[in-house]
Structure 1
Amino acid sequence: MRKLALASLVTLVLLSSVGSCIATSSNFYTRNGEKYDNWSLCRTRCWGEDGFFQVHNTTFRPAIAFESLGELKNTAWEVGEGLAERYSGNELAKQIFDYVRDHVIYTSDSIQFAYDEFARNADEVAEEIESNGSSRGDCEDYAVLLAVMFKAAGFQSAVVLAPEHAAALVYLSGYPGANAFWDFRGEGGWIWAEATGRTNPLGWTPPELMRSDLLAYEIGEEPVLEGEGKSEKLATSGGGGQMFFGGSSFFSMLLFLWVLSLFKRRR
């Protein structure tokens, strides 16, 4: 009897560990080989009306961020609010950035989930940090968690989509540690939040992205699958960045590369 009880306990521990890796705050189901959550958002595909970033030819919308905002806000929002009770201004922004950078271990989705893409919402990552002391994720997971926590702390924040990369923006005009300021929605003073590297400081933009085609979407309270906002182009203040050229060429190529990757994976 004791052996049976012990075996049952071990089984429960193993099952809870597996569940925490995949579904902390959502119930997942499979459709046509893709993983969907209980908001009918596809976690393994970024493009399309139900993709986690709703990528189209010239636009995107980080739909997965809205699973942790408004009436759905939970752990990530609470952590951001908690930091705002202890810090303010530049130091508050730095504390949020350091929290994400120091507690999320960069791990590719293929290693963690056996999918080329598997996005996680901000609460799933934050709950794992609060429970276990750390979490794992890749660029879009860092970006979404940062954007939600910045918003919770009272900052304007956005998710940025670059070629094969995602990051966050926060409005912090005059921040002394920034190597570039970004113009977004007609307003300068936005800085880059790139937490995927352990030594990255807040405000550091990777040099190779300063002349890339970039789009950003400011987050707020919106329904998960539908919203009235729109993504807009970015340029570094003073002309250091490039605006879009050739209309939809960048996102058409981005979509093509992701589709090609998906095709190769399923051959």
Structure 2
Amino acid sequence: MALLRCLSKFLRTRAGLVLLCGPALLLLCPGVAIATPTGNFYTDGSDVFDDWDICRSRADGPDGFFKASASRFEPVIADQSLGGNADRAYVRGFEFSLEYEDVTRRAEAIFTYVRDHVRYTSDSSQFGYGEFAQNADELLAVVDDKGVAYGDCEDYAVLLGAMYVGAGIRSAVVLAPDHAAALVYLPDYPRANRFLTVDGESGWVWAEATGGNNPLGWMPENYMGTHLLAYELEDKGFPPGAPPDRAVTTVPRRSNRDFALPVSPFFLVLLLLWLMSSVGRRRSASRR
């Protein structure tokens, strides 16, 4: 009892209030920022390159992750997860092919899987770069470890594309003004609001998994009638080369880890208000 009386007296002091309020306020915060490395890279000026000498922080140019120009592009970052480089994403797609014999159901299941396990987040908020592309296996490694990963439009497109190829479904990456998405070859898909033509072949449908409620085959109206570039992915890949003689660096990944509160936040707020009012009453009584 003496210990409880001492603890009660201490909690009514300013120091006790701060000691209790600090951890409580931390618990009330929605998350705490942590940083985990995505892999080994090297820098050249303001650009970040990987083992394939592909610039992850820039989509354009002959060494950009999309090799994008005004008239063409090649999503070379997808090759890091295909062919001889096939790993998590390709295998995960193959697993869907074993589970779903029907191609339409298989395509829908893969789309739903990516939509539900990746949350849209800008590169600037996650990596501190205006642009930073992740390959399909890096993104899926985070899903396997954390249950959910974060990425932007090109990350979704590359992951979907690699998984579709692994599942035996033709896929492409489409580049729109300031946007990227995946295409899937489903010429008889009944839920598509628009069929697109790639290299003279119709039957391609839009795969936009960045929204939580987006269905497969739904193409946003603002991209209809705009200039689009599409590149069909092939089951090929080139091995990484030896990086130049530069210092290896890591790019921190900022993410949120949620805390499970032992009690309702409402009751914590009530406790804090009670403590503050208790200290106020004690100070008023001491002045009399």
The answer to whether the superposition gives a TM-score over 0.5 is yes
Q: Which of 216, 220, 235 is matched with 2:230 structurally?
A: 216
SS at match of 2:183: strand
SS at match of 1:136: strand
Q: CA deviation at 1:221?
A: 3.4
Is the CA contact (8 Å cut-off) linking 1:119 and 1:141 kept in structure 2? yes
Q: Check if 1:50 corresponds to 2:63.
A: yes
Q: What one-letter code is carried by the residue in structure 2 that aligns with 1:61?
A: E
Q: CA deviation at 1:188?
A: 1.0
- The residue aligned with 2:92 is 79
- The residue aligned with 1:245 is none
- The residue aligned with 2:48 is 35
Q: What one-letter code is carried by the residue in structure 2 that aligns with 1:152?
A: G
- The residue aligned with 2:219 is 205
More relative contact order, 1 or 2 (CA 8 Å, 6+ apart): 2
Is the CA contact (8 Å cut-off) linking 2:165 and 2:235 kept in structure 1? no
- The residue aligned with 2:124 is 110
Taking only aligned residues, the RMSD between alpha carbons, in angstroms, comes to 1.6
Is the CA contact (8 Å cut-off) linking 1:64 and 1:224 kept in structure 2? no
Q: CA deviation at 1:57?
A: 2.6
Q: Check if 1:158 corresponds to 2:172.
A: yes
SS at match of 1:216: strand
Deviations 1:194-246 (A, max 9, x none): 00000000000001101110010001134559xxxxxxxxxxxxxxxxxxxxx
Q: CA deviation at 1:17?
A: 5.2
Is the CA contact (8 Å cut-off) linking 2:84 and 2:236 kept in structure 1? no
- The residue aligned with 2:210 is 196
- The residue aligned with 1:260 is none
Q: Check if 1:18 corresponds to 2:30.
A: no
Equivalent runs, 1:138-177 vs 2, <5 Å: 138-177=152-191
Q: Distance in 1 between matches of 2:199 and 2:205?
A: 13
Q: Distance in 2 between matches of 1:42 and 1:17?
A: 21
Q: Distance in 2 between matches of 1:185 and 1:46?
A: 22
- Which consecutive segments of 4 or more residues in structure 1 shift more than 6 A? none
Is the CA contact (8 Å cut-off) linking 2:85 and 2:237 kept in structure 1? no
* Count of residue pairs brought into register by the alignment: 206
Q: Distance in 2 between matches of 1:126 and 1:69?
A: 14
Unpaired segments ≥5 residues, structure 2: 1-33, 240-288
Return the TM-score normalized by structure 1. 0.75
- The residue aligned with 1:128 is 142
Q: CA deviation at 1:177?
A: 1.1
Q: Check if 1:68 corresponds to 2:90.
A: no
Taking a change above 3 Å as real, the CA distance of residues 176 and 207 of structure 1, as seen in their structure-2 partners, is: same
Q: Distance in 1 between matches of 2:187 and 2:94?
A: 21
Q: What one-letter code is carried by the residue in structure 2 that aligns with 1:177?
A: R
State the percentage of identical aligned residues.
Answer: 51
- The residue aligned with 1:185 is 199
Q: What one-letter code is carried by the residue in structure 2 that aligns with 1:135?
A: A
Unpaired segments ≥5 residues, structure 1: 1-15, 226-267
Deviations 1:128-147 (A, max 9, x none): 11121110000000000001
Q: Which has the larger share of strand?
A: 2
Return the TM-score normalized by structure 2. 0.69
Is the CA contact (8 Å cut-off) linking 1:63 and 1:224 kept in structure 2? no
SS at match of 1:173: coil
Q: Distance in 2 between matches of 1:56 and 1:213?
A: 13
Is the CA contact (8 Å cut-off) linking 1:168 and 1:194 kept in structure 2? yes
